[in-house]
Amino acid sequence: MIRFTGKGVYGAIAAGKISIFKRQDVQVRRVKVENPEEELARLAAAKKAALDQLSEIYQKALKEVGEANAQIFEIHMMMVEDDDYNEAIEEMINGQSVNAEYAVAVTADNFAEMFASMEDSYMQARAADVRDISNRIIACMSGCTDEKTASDEKVIICADDLAPSETVSLDKERVLAFVTAHGSSNSHTAILARNMNIPAIIGLGEAFLREIHDGDMAIADGFTGEFILSPDEETLKACRQKQQAESEKKELLQKLKGKENITLDGTKINIYANIGSADNIGAVLLNDAGGIGLFRSEFLYLENTDYPSEEDQLKVYKRVLESMAARKVIIRTLDIGADKQADYFKLEREENPALGLRAIRLCLSRPEIFRTQLKALYRASVYGNLGIMFPMITSVSELEEILALCEEVKAELKRDHIEYAENVELGIMIETPAAAIISDRLAPMVDFFSVGTNDLTQYTLACDRQNPHIERFCDTHHEAILRLIEISAKNAHKHGAWIGICGELAADTSLTETFLRMGIDELSVSPGFVLKVRDAVRSIDLSKPPTDFFLANKL
Ligand code: PEP
Ligand code: MG
């Protein structure tokens, strides 16, 4: 039994087998080899492993999705054994004395290009297949296999780090917990774990990676940040007891379902939920959230390999709006860039990505992408109670440009006799110090503000939210942050706008009283925190002197 300690980023506990996260995009380099025979032997072994995997996947697909859909894996098996393909690879290994991975990658490119240039659409489609089987063979040579995809067992995913795009592409049904050697608690991967109600630990360090093996038993305790490898019986028993106590606590909170978010002296607020996908709606409803305060729409883009079309987006937004019936649904427009990268955007490498072309800056620089999203949003607006929110605002002129684009999109819809709702609320995120400081100018232009404390902390305290080494300087309770929220709340109300908080700080119940006294109207938190925050609200009495240090002394 070995214990590692990191930082728990979502309080829950899981016990189960480990699955080490395998990156599929293995980097292939050209290496000169002494002995091509050895490379040919490696190639033969990898091909055999690839064929075994494909046959297993074929059998599984046959059972689950029927013969017609399973057939593609039969085609893949034939392609692995194709004579022309194999001769080309072998010729390259023998003729140029290069490593097998490189020969497979180059051959894949050549064949894919050849297929893509053919007239016949069936043959064109084979380009993707030849890349797919080649990646599989290369992965087998690099020790990256996906054999565990055949199992339905839930596992603890262990990785050095996970990018948001990798986290979203995991099969959620199979994930018991996320555990990483690196990472920071305000990263989007940590946020996703919270949204998915999955225990997560980050920052376990390099040593942890050296000790783990696929299939090892482990406990991930997201409360304490402890990761216990190969636990003994006694530790497993203690873990089960803790799980039981947790589920009892959760059950107690369930009693708050259907109750109001009201303080002891009668002040009411809204408690909404944050989501990253339409698949989180079940958790939102289960936890009795009053609405959705933040739908991070960029995950829709991250889940795809190309820009989601207007129709694709409409389908998702409609589903979320309809599922929430009359309840408010605030969809945030695309916030891509910085740590959230999708290859097809082809964003240039930046020295300081968090200060670069991200979020609204990207949308205003590529208005065609923004227009498609706005059109899908307005078209979806007839299916529920929609609010649209814009991220990373820093100036009045940006907001003017956005509002003008909204008007143009609505005018286009009207011209084409396409329906949209007139009562769509428009709001901005307050997540830069600039936005908070000029909130008196911004408030008259919108219906609401929502404070993004994750970025507001990053930009106010000059602390990269992705950097685990400076977490102790990223004090989310810093007086500067609280003052900026306070200023924004005052200005919002002065101009008839409402204000919520949708950053992770909204779920920090040690600040709930502070937020209520500032006049915050809405708190939007991960679905699993809704009832915990309701519980906190219901125990506060605003008619009594403040118990909060900041409010008692600073304001
Ligand atoms: C925030 O910055 O607080 C926020 C809610 O947005 P995100 O975490 O997606 O950047
Ligand atoms: Mg943000």
286-311 residue pLDDT tens: 899 999 999 999 999 998 889 999 99
Residues in contact with ligand 1 by the CB-under-6-Å rule are 191, 294, 296, 335, 431, 452-455, 502-503
Q: What is the pLDDT of residues 217-255, one digit of tens each?
A: 999 999 999 999 999 999 999 999 999 998 888 888 999
Probe target for ligand 1 pocket from 195, 429, 476, with the most ligand atoms within 8 Å of CB: 429
Tokens of 72: 């593609």
Domains of the chain (ranges, CATH numbers): 2-23+147-236 (3.50.30.10), 36-142 (1.10.274.10), 269-553 (3.20.20.60)
Residue nearest to ligand 1 atom 6, measured at CA: 452
Strand order in the sheet with 13-20: 2-5, 226-229, 217-221, 13-20, 155-159, 175-180, 200-202, 7-10
Spatial CA neighbour of 304 closest among 188, 129, 165: 165
The per-residue pLDDT for 118 is: 81
Q: What pLDDT is recorded for position 69?
A: 63
Token pair belonging to 25:
């995009």
Query: Which listed residue (76, 140, 182, 188) is catalytic?
Result: 188
Give me ligand 2 centre to Cα 127, in Å: 38
**Closest C-alpha among 202, 187, 90, 94 to residue 157:** 202
Residue 555 pLDDT: 47
Contacts of 284 (CB under 8 A, 6+ apart): 273, 275, 292, 324, 527
502 included as an active-site residue: yes
Q: What number does the ligand 1 atom closest to the CA of 505 have? A: 3
Q: How far apart are CA 418 and CA 405, in angstroms?
A: 17
Active site residue 144: no
Ligand 1 atom 9, closest CA: 296
Instruction: Give the Å distance between the CA of 391 and the centre of ligand 2.
Output: 7
Written as six digits, the tokens of 215 are: 């299939």
Can you tell me which atom of ligand 1 is nearest the CA of 458?
2
For residue 481, which ligand has an atom nearest its CA? 1
Closest-CA residue, ligand 1 atom 3, reads 452
Strands, E assignment, 234-308: 270-275, 291-296
Q: How many separate helices (H) and strands (E) can be counted in the chain? A: 21, 16
Question: How would you write the pLDDT of the chain (555 residues) with one tens digit per residue?
Answer: 999 999 998 888 999 999 998 765 566 888 889 999 999 999 999 999 999 988 887 887 677 666 766 777 888 899 999 999 999 999 999 999 999 999 999 999 888 888 878 877 677 777 778 887 898 899 888 765 444 444 568 899 999 988 776 777 677 778 999 999 988 777 777 887 887 778 899 999 989 999 999 999 999 999 999 999 999 999 999 999 999 998 888 888 999 999 999 999 999 999 999 999 998 898 899 899 999 999 999 999 998 889 999 999 999 999 999 999 899 999 999 999 888 888 899 888 898 999 999 999 999 999 999 999 999 999 999 999 999 999 999 999 999 999 999 999 999 999 999 999 999 999 999 999 999 999 999 999 999 999 999 999 999 999 999 888 898 899 999 999 999 999 999 999 999 999 999 999 999 999 999 999 999 999 999 999 999 999 999 999 999 988 876 665 654
Atom 10, ligand 1: which residue's CA is nearest?
Answer: 455
Classify each residue of 206-234 as buried b or exposed e, where b means 16 or more C-beta atoms within 10 Å of its C-beta: eebbeebeeebebbbbbeebbbbbebeee
Q: Cα(452) to centroid of ligand 2, in Å?
A: 5
Asked if 177 contacts 153 with a C-beta cutoff of 8 angstroms, the reply is no
